[in-house]
Structure 1
Amino acid sequence: MPNPRILNRKLHRWGAIATALPFLLVIVTGLLLQLKKQLAWVQPPEQRTANTVPSLSMEQILRAAQSVPEAAVTDWRDIDRLDVRPAKGIVKVTANNRWEVQVDLGTGAVLQAAYRRSDLIEQLHDGSWFADAAKLWVFLPSGVVVLGLWITGLYLFVLPFLARAQKRQRES
């Protein structure tokens, strides 16, 4: 039977190599997502108005989104979602092409239009950008291996302390 200490080191080393690229992607995208409210490049900052009671019709929201050429909205099929923020007085219209149009809930005025990268970064983070199978067959196993690396890394950290304690106990 192989020495458990040597086996642990080998598992730790090969696990780190096997998960290097997927885990690097998870770390980098996770850091960007942590900062999405601070980095306008990742997610456009939310505007604010005094109109906290929504008074727009769905047709007015659609017309506002259509007024932004970059969003390429011609009808409702071009819109991925609406995010209504009454406390901020806005509705965020996210187009299928990832452009976000922020519309004043009271006047229908376009407050801001910008490209939104946070959804793409989230898809890269969980692996779904590659394919749904990548989430289960690459990123999930990588996560399990990284958990194993954490456990074996703790063991490798504690091992010298245990060895010194055993040595002191034998000497006394």
Structure 2
Amino acid sequence: MNKRKKILKQAKIIRLARKLHRISGISLFVFFFVIGITSILLGWKKDSGGYLLPATAQGSTPHLQNWLSLEELHLIAQNTIRDTLNTEIIPEVDRMEIRKDDGVVKFCFKDSYDGLQLDGATGKVLQYGPRRSDFIENVHDGSILDIIFKTDSGIFKLTYTSILGTALLLFTVTGFWLWYGPKRLKRSKS
């Protein structure tokens, strides 16, 4: 009788794992589909020929002593993007990436997926264009909802990543059990 109880218990665990796996998969299918596609795109962003992420331009010198000040470069970037977008609103810089070896400073702007690359020494515009990979990253991690609903707390991103991360762990455990459980049950029966 003890062997039979053990077999029934194992079968019950397998059924529970299958049910959890199925319900989670059905409930989160769209989200996992989006994460899968955006993961592939993000993996290829640097190899997309500049379509997803503009290639880093080459500035005139990597020697920082020959560069303009960050304040001057910041002002040039704001004025350039304002003039390019034909607006009176001064765009706010979200981040600046200094690529010393390339002699370039990259600018990304808040409320925009535009990117601008300036020569660190001359302030000359080397590249301007959309940073599609930033949008894809926001979709991938759920922060696009924080942007749409203008939440500063990042609550949508936190909730989204927590739910999907937990679901991925659940899929891993239940998927393993759906593979291993029947093998174990078969051994118990013989």
TM-score, scaled relative to structure 2: 0.75
Q: Over residues 2-43 of structure 1, what are the superposed CA-to-partner deviations in whole Å (9 max), with x where a residue is unaligned?
A: 822212111110011122122222222222222221122221
Give the Cα–Cα distance (whole angstroms) in 2 for the partners of residues 60 and 155 of structure 1. 57
Question: Aligned residue for 1:51?
Answer: 61
Q: Show the counterpart of 1:99.
A: 114
Structure 1 distance, partners of 2:138, 2:46, is 17
Q: What fraction of aligned residue pairs are identical, expressed as a percent?
A: 30
CA distance in 1, matches of 2:161, 2:107: 30
User: What residue number does 1:153 align with?
Assistant: 175
For 2:17 and 2:23, the matched residues in 1 are separated by: 10
Letter of the 2:28 partner, please give it: T
Q: Counterpart of 2:176 in structure 1: which amino acid?
A: L
Deviations 1:130-170 (Å, cap 9, x if unpaired)? 13332343441222122111111111112343344445xx3
TM-score, length basis structure 1? 0.82
**What are the ranges of 5 or more consecutive residues in structure 2 without an aligned counterpart?**
1-8, 147-153
Paired residue total:
168
- Give structure 1 stretches of 5+ with no counterpart: none
Is the Cα contact below 8 Å between 1:66 and 1:74 reproduced in 2? no
State yes or no: 1:126 paired with 2:132.
no
Distance (whole Å) between structure 2 residues aligned to residue 26 and residue 8 of structure 1: 23
Contact 2:78 2:90 in 1 (8 A): no
After superposition, residues 7-86 of structure 1 pair within 5 angstroms as: 7-39=16-48, 40-54=50-64, 55-57=67-69, 58-68=71-81, 69-70=83-84, 77-86=91-100
Matched-pair contact (CA < 8 Å) for 1:71–1:100:
no
CA RMSD of aligned residues (A): 2.6
Find the aligned partners of 2:86 and 2:98 in 1 and give their Cα distance: 20
